[in-house]
A and B are shown apart, each in its own frame.
Chain A
Amino acid sequence: DGGITQSPKYLFRKEGQNVTLSCEQNLNHDAMYWYRQDPGQGLRLIYYSQIVNDFQKGDIAEGYSVSREKKESFPLTVTSAQKNPTAFYLCASSPGHSTGELFFGEGSRLTVL
């Protein structure tokens, strides 16, 4: 079945460590996105990519990095520079940028100990 797969579902990290969250899609979508969700707040855009080998910063990109080497993959690295990394991270894709609905993965919950 087509869809978006995020892994891991739960992740614990010590302060000062980098961690990479995986996002893979087999929907043949051009655009992919990373959002962060905190309790009582809406989804906030971290990074997005419209085509392979190109990506743009969202509203809260500081402390994060991404790559888009393949159409189906858009990993997110949470670096030690991110001050408050504990959150629920959501990856999404769409057929084309600014063309409508997003398809979301099941999310990755990161907890910094």
Chain B
Amino acid sequence: SQKIEQNSEALNIQEGKTATLTCNYTNYSPAYLQWYRQDPGRGPVFLLLIRENEKEKRKERLKVTFDTTLKQSLFHITASQPADSATYLCALDNTDKLIFGTGTRLQVFP
């Protein structure tokens, strides 16, 4: 069966450290993968898109990797801040739809 898996348990880290979130998928062959940030009671906000022929993409303190062999994407936030606390969703394209993972909640403590 097709699955997108993100760690359902919250990730708690100290301010200044690097946060690493994982997105694994099964039985999909996405042309691209996206990451979104969602705050409680709000709509998701797009962060980054990485294509299947790209290994890595960066935007300010954010870095995303995409390994189509491992069927995995890693999302890194360097020098994390309490303001980075939110739920982060990965999403991948499946033919004509965007399929979302369940998200991982990140909590950054001062």
Name A's B-contacting residues (CB within 8 A).
4, 6, 33, 35, 40-45, 48, 56, 58-59, 88, 90, 92, 97-98, 100-107, 109
Looking at B4, B32, B91, B98, the one whose CB has the most chain A CB atoms below 10 A away is B98
In the complex, the answer to whether B89 meets A97 with C-beta atoms within 8 Å is no
B97 adjacent to A107 (CB under 8 Å): no
Chain B interface extent, by class: 20 to 34
Q: Verify A58–B46 contact, CB threshold 8 A.
A: no
| Stretch from B37-45, B67-75, B78-86 contacting the other chain | B37-45
Partner of B101 from A35, A42, A98, A103 at Cβ < 8 Å: A42
Residue B34 at the chain A interface, CB threshold 8 Å: yes
A-B residue pairs, 8 tightest by C-beta: A104-B43, A101-B46, A42-B100, A43-B100, A42-B102, A104-B44, A106-B43, A107-B43
Which residues of B pack against A, CB within 8 Å? 4, 8, 32, 34, 41-46, 49, 89, 91, 93, 95-103
User: Across the interface, which residues of A come within 8 angstroms of B42, CB to CB?
Assistant: 106-107
C-alpha gap A105/B99 in the complex (Å): 18
Contacts of B96 in A (CB 8 A): 56, 97-98
Cα–Cα distance between A63 and B104 once the two chains are bound (Å): 29
A102-B46 in contact (CB<8A): yes
Query: Are the C-beta atoms of B102 and A40 separated by less than 8 Å?
Result: yes
Q: In the docked arrangement, what's the CA distance between A43 and B36, Å?
A: 12
Residue among B34, B43, B101 making CB contact with A105, cutoff 8 Å: B43
Known: A97-B96, A101-B46. 12 other contacts (CB 8 A): A40-B8, A42-B89, A45-B98, A90-B43, A92-B43, A98-B93, A100-B34, A101-B49, A102-B98, A106-B43, A107-B43, A109-B41
Taking the closest CB of chain B, its distance from the CB of A30, in whole angstroms, is 13
